[in-house]
Amino acid sequence: MMNDEQYMMEAIKEAKKAESIDEVPIGCIIVKNNQIIARSYNQREIRQQSTAHAEILAIEQACQATGSWRLDNCILYVTLEPCPMCAGAILQSRIQRVVYGASDPKGGCLGSCINLYEVAGFNHYPMIEKGILSEICSSLLSDFFKKKRKNKKKKEML
């Protein structure tokens, strides 16, 4: 049995896969009965799909793995606070608990811009745990964007 930090390390491994193909490094895994049933990473650019966020791809994989759109008793681990689309997909799939690493002031919907799960009227409310290995998760992102800016400057100087 692994704990939240150990599962988040698995999500971080996924984020690194994104980084290796020049995608914004965000990774996600889904756990059911202490088993990882889905793992994915952000693939928006490579697929040119606005929905190809780590969480959406992992949720789709988990639905396929379980044969059901209801991901009851599942926990989703993601390195960055979910955007409205992904926070909504977590809610739609009845995931029990979301654990995220870094907060996202530019779009995060589980506490930063808004906490979507505090809005009344939905038929499901996942639990939220935040800040798990947040420093590793946010360094991955800041290093990625730093490198991007550096490369851009280099190109401009040529």
The residues assigned a catalytic role are: 55
Using CA atoms, how far apart are residues 88 and 82, in angstroms rounded to an integer?
9
Closest CA to 53 of 80, 16, 31: 80
| Ramachandran bin of 105, using left for φ above 0, alpha for ψ from -120 to 50, beta for the remaining angles | alpha
Span interacting with a second copy, options 17-25, 100-108, 134-142, 146-154, rule CB under 8 A: 100-108
Residue 84 engages a second copy in binding (rule: CB under 8 A): yes
Q: Which of 12, 24, 83, 110 binds a second copy (CB under 8 A)?
A: 83
Run of H or E residues at 102: strand 97-102
Question: Do residues 98 and 132 lie in contact, with contact meaning Cβ atoms separated by under 8 Å?
Answer: no
Name residues whose C-beta falls within 8 Å of residue 4's C-beta, 6 or more positions apart in sequence.
77, 99, 129, 132
Q: Which of 1, 33, 35, 67 binds a second copy (CB under 8 A)?
A: 67
Q: Which of 26, 31, 76, 116 binds a second copy (CB under 8 A)?
A: 116
Using CA atoms, how far apart are residues 63 and 37, in angstroms rounded to an integer?
9
Nearer to a second copy, 3 or 48 (CB): 48
Q: Please state the closest distance from residue 6 (CB atom) to a second copy, in A.
A: 26
Residue 78 engages a second copy in binding (rule: CB under 8 A): no
- Where along the sequence are the contacts to a second copy (CB under 8 A)? 44-45, 47-53, 56, 59-60, 63-64, 67-71, 83-89, 91-94, 105-107, 109, 112-114, 116, 119-123
